[in-house]
A = this chain, B = another copy of it.
């Protein structure tokens, strides 16, 4: 078996059905040194217990998924969403403190779609601006970085009105880079004709908070949320995108986050082994050695 790349982080979604303790155990047992967690799993264990288990695993913590879903008009429902984001900020801070050195206090933010019954995409996007203005001071106080994730445009109506890296950078611009960054997830952005340019811009503006890798294949499955594949199993040019992200200065952990029913239906140990292999062949060859600079 390939030795895991030292920058590889398993995003817990890839082994969705493993409870937190098992996910940590399998990840560390496979020689992987970092993990990205999901809130439902953390909350199922309770935050203090999750932090304890994470600390005991010896793993770095690379991100918490996810905050956001704040494209809600002002009113009680929006207040509920904002309070939920406050809890997510607190969870991120505690988990980052519990993780091994090199952990990242990164909260991945998925914006949310167009409000039910509305056609006002522009208005929904402005709700994201307002929410960031409200949450950024609290994230800053907690030492947490909000990482805006552009999602593939096929999710623009029902999941994320942030659709391109350029748009995410525009939304991040009013805030300090240490407080609001962006996620570069290959699955969501690989198609973008502006990608190389916007990754370079993200580097210049010091905004890359997370680099996530998984692959794109067609035909898409019936549920397009579950369309992700192991790196190397599809059409994404990981050599080019990884080089762009390195060139932009990102040196953090790289998460593999896969939503795919077939992969979820395999034993989690198998999914981890395949992730190590896919990452090792599709991504690792394009990473700079530790400490190297172009």
Q: What residues of chain A have their CB less than 8 Å away from a CB belonging to chain B?
A: 114, 118-122, 125, 152-154, 156-158, 163-164, 166-167, 170, 190-194, 216-220, 222-224, 234-237, 240
- A interface SS class: loop
Given contact pairs A153-B152, A154-B152, A154-B153, A119 touches B222 in the complex (Cβ within 8 A):
no
Chain B contacts of A219 at CB under 8 A? 158, 223
Question: How far does the Cβ of A261 sit from chain B's closest Cβ, in whole Å?
Answer: 14
Of B118, B153, B234, the residue contacting A153 (CB under 8 A) is B153
What are 17 A-B contacts with C-beta separation under 8 Å?
Answer: A119-B235, A120-B237, A125-B193, A152-B153, A152-B154, A153-B154, A154-B224, A156-B191, A157-B216, A158-B218, A158-B219, A163-B192, A164-B193, A164-B194, A170-B193, A219-B223, A222-B222
Chain B contacts of A223 at CB under 8 A? 219
Interface centre among A118, A163, A164, A235 (most CB of B within 10 A): A235
CB-based contact B193/A166 at 8 Å: yes
CB-based contact B153/A191 at 8 Å: yes
Q: How far is the CA of A152 from the CA of B158 in the complex (A)?
A: 16
Question: How far does the Cβ of A163 sit from chain B's closest Cβ, in whole Å?
Answer: 5
Chain B contacts of A119 at CB under 8 A? 235-237
Question: How far does the Cβ of A249 sit from chain B's closest Cβ, in whole Å?
Answer: 22
Nearest B residue to A240 via CB reads B122
Q: How far is the CA of A240 from the CA of B121 in the complex (A)?
A: 10
Chain B contacts of A216 at CB under 8 A? 157
Chain B contacts of A220 at CB under 8 A? 154, 224
CB-based contact B153/A192 at 8 Å: yes
